[in-house]
Amino acid sequence: MKFSLRLGVLVSSFFSSLFWSLNLLLFLYTLLVYYLLYEVPIGHWIGGIFMISLPIAWAFNLFFILFWLLVKPWRALLPVLTLLIGIPFWRRTFTYNQPNDNSEKWPTLQVMSYNVMGFNRYDVVDTQHPDDANAMIDWVLKEPSDVKCFQEFYNDDNSFVFRTIRRLERAGYPYYAILHPPDRKGMEKEPGKFIGVALFSRHPIVKRGEEIFDHFNGLVWADVKVNTDTVRVISLHLQSMGIRVGGMLDEEQRSRVKRNTQGVLRQLRQGLTLRRNQINRVEEYYRNSPHPVIICGDFNDTPYSFSYGKLRRILRNAFEDAGRGFGFSFNKAPGFLRIDNQFYNARFLEPLNYITYREVKYSDHYPIMAKYAIRPREISRDRRPKTHVEFDF
């Protein structure tokens, strides 16, 4: 009997020590992730993997809090401390702001961004049922934003359904900038038929430009004239992650997961590397702009990524400053990703509201919208880029 009790004590002590060691390692790992996010010192893909793992590290810390409360309550202080150190990054995950009523009556600019997934053109081609495509395009036409930014925008001049440029013009958006992708098989012989990044505006566009990253990934920018002010709006679509979580979780494909792991890691590395280079190009467009800037689109990256952190050091994020809730924008498994964003120049612009249209389920992304007040130049805030903006609550 004594032997059994002693053995039980030894086993309990062993597992307690093991879990405590794992908790210490988790503490050090989470601190490393905080440092990488705070400093954004490198753009190497391995560092990128560490950075996007922050929610997983938080989840394990929550597990240890519950575990130690049941076993040795005083040890729960370590994971609690770990989470408290990360308070500056909580805002990237969850925020709650009240709409601003724009009491100063400054001019406003409302911007919507939406990855429309080609307006479901594949479903129409395969099934000959254009109902979903028509419903999505009708919603896009009726949505009241002044500027509409699209990713995976599709147009076909020979199709009544997908004559989207003409339909947007008739809806009151006569000004636009469109990314013309390189000729691709199946489209080079069909003028007026293409897919890519686009921007449409109610207000005049005085200057525009574009840059192709890869296939239909890239950006377009337009200097939009709003009364006496001009705002540069950049619509972008960064490199895809190349990983479909839903497919990995599909029962028929579970047996392939082990075999495909190497391919998944290769795609993840490639995506992280390409987005790092692309976001550097986006930053140049901001720095060379003579006007206040709004950058929006499908970043294909989480709020804990290198590309997000790089922009956040020079611009503000509209969701963080004017949004509510978690702002999840990806309408596929795992369902808790915010990969669509709007960044803005806070010296001249003030977000009044930010909405994720989660009731609009036509695409694999939800549309996002932010409304900005344009602050007069003579009273613009001195919001020059700070060395570290994580603590700028």
3-state secondary structure of 134: helix
Rounded CA gap, 207 and 224, in Å? Answer: 8
How high is the pLDDT of residue 215? 74
Q: Whole-angstrom Cα distance, residue 146 to residue 250?
A: 40
354-393 pLDDT, tens digit each:
999 999 999 999 999 999 999 987 666 654 444 444 555 4
The model's pLDDT over 181-196, given as tens digits with 9 standing for 90+, comes to 555 544 555 667 888 9
pLDDT-derived band of residue 4, with 50, 70 and 90 as boundaries? low
Task: Decide if 155 contacts 116 (C-beta within 8 A).
Answer: no
Measured between alpha carbons, how far is 347 from 385 in angstroms, rounded to an integer?
A: 10
Reply yes or no on whether the pLDDT at 5 is more than 60.
Answer: no
The whole-angstrom separation of Cα 282 and Cα 385 is 16
Mean pLDDT of 162-176: 96
Q: Which two tokens stand for residue 46?
A: 């391995």
Q: How far from the centroid of its chain's Cα atoms is residue 35's Cα?
A: 21
The model's pLDDT over 25-37, given as tens digits with 9 standing for 90+, comes to 999 999 999 998 8
As given in the structure block, the two tokens for residue 238 are 């960064």
Spatial distance between the Cα atoms of 289 and 159, rounded to a whole number of angstroms: 37
HEC sequence for 191-239? CCEEEEEEEEECCCEEEEEEEEEECCEEEEEEEEEECCEEEEEEEEECC
Q: Provide, rounded to the nearest whole percent, the portion of the chain with pLDDT above 90.
A: 62
Is pLDDT at 23 greater than 60 in this prediction? yes
For the chain, what are the domain ranges? 2-85, 102-379
- What would the mean pLDDT of 338-350 be, rounded to a whole number? 96
Residues found in the chain: 393
Residue with tokens 């990934």: 217
| Class of the CATH-defined domain 102-379 | alpha beta
Query: For the segment 214-258, what is each residue's pLDDT rounded down to a tens digit?
Result: 877 999 999 999 999 999 999 999 998 654 444 434 444 445 555
Residue 365: name the closest of 43, 195, 112 by CA.
Answer: 112
Structure tokens at 239: 């490199």
pLDDT category of residue 349 using cuts at 50, 70 and 90: very high
The Cβ-side half-sphere exposure at 87, using a 13 Å CA radius, reads 7
Asked whether the beta carbons of 283 and 314 are under 8 A apart, the reply is yes
Token pair listed for 91: 């805002």
Mean model confidence pLDDT for the chain: 85
Instruction: Give the span between the Cα atoms of 176 and 174, in whole angstroms.
Output: 7
Looking at residues 12-24, what average pLDDT do you find? 87
